Amino acid sequence: MERKFAHLISVLFHPLLMPTFAALLLFNIPSHFNLSLSVNYRYLVPVFVFTCTFVFPALVLFIYLKMGFIKSLEMKDRKERALPLITMAGIYYLTYFFLKQGPVPTLFNFFMIGATLLVLVSLLVNYFEKLSIHMVAMGGLFGTFAGLAIAFHYDLRLMLFLLALVAGFTGFARLKLKAHTEAQVYTGFGLGVLVMMGLFLFV
């Protein structure tokens, strides 16, 4: 039962879904960034982001699997992760580039640049040590809103609590499935938090 729950959590909070979750949350928090944004646009952009950062990458990973570049979609061997991570960084940057052409709040464009940077940092670390990409993504999402709360004095305590709770469940799931060690889970989350929170605080 616990393994089924762990697998469900791993699917629901897959790293490729984090930009979509970020878009839904960022466009619906009470902030001055969203004042001029129409209600319809707040949902059209997440659909676009979902297509660019989940559907397309998922198709690319499936192609990589069929071509033998990766042995499984879980990519348990860290050496298999280099090409997919490079691909994700390129897709994330292109998503940022296309969104920048429209009236998308600077805040989300900044998030996409940060997400691209985080993938590249993960790629660098991956050459030396395997990380939990699930936890890197969760840490990045948490770090984004922690950085916003501090930099702009937004009261996001409830959201941060819920994100920390989800991160805890996700970490439990990765450990229960024996996909990562505790060190890989904690390091991944810490890396995500530091990169994204640092970006929003100091840039």
What tens digit of pLDDT does each residue of 140-187 get?
999 999 998 998 888 899 999 999 999 999 999 999 988 889 999 999
Q: What is the DSSP letter of 72?
A: S
CA distance 29 to 108: 12
CA distance 19 to 50: 7
CA distance 100 to 38: 17
Question: How many Cβ atoms sit within 10 Å of the Cβ of residue 21?
Answer: 18
- Under 8 Å between Cβ of 160 and 145: yes
- Any idea which residue has 């959590």 for tokens? 9
31-63 pLDDT tens trace: 666 666 666 777 888 899 999 999 999 999 999
Q: Look at the pTM and tell me if it is higher than 0.85.
A: yes
What are φ and ψ of residue 11, in 5° steps?
-75, -45
Amino acid (one-letter) located at 32? H
CA distance 169 to 6: 8
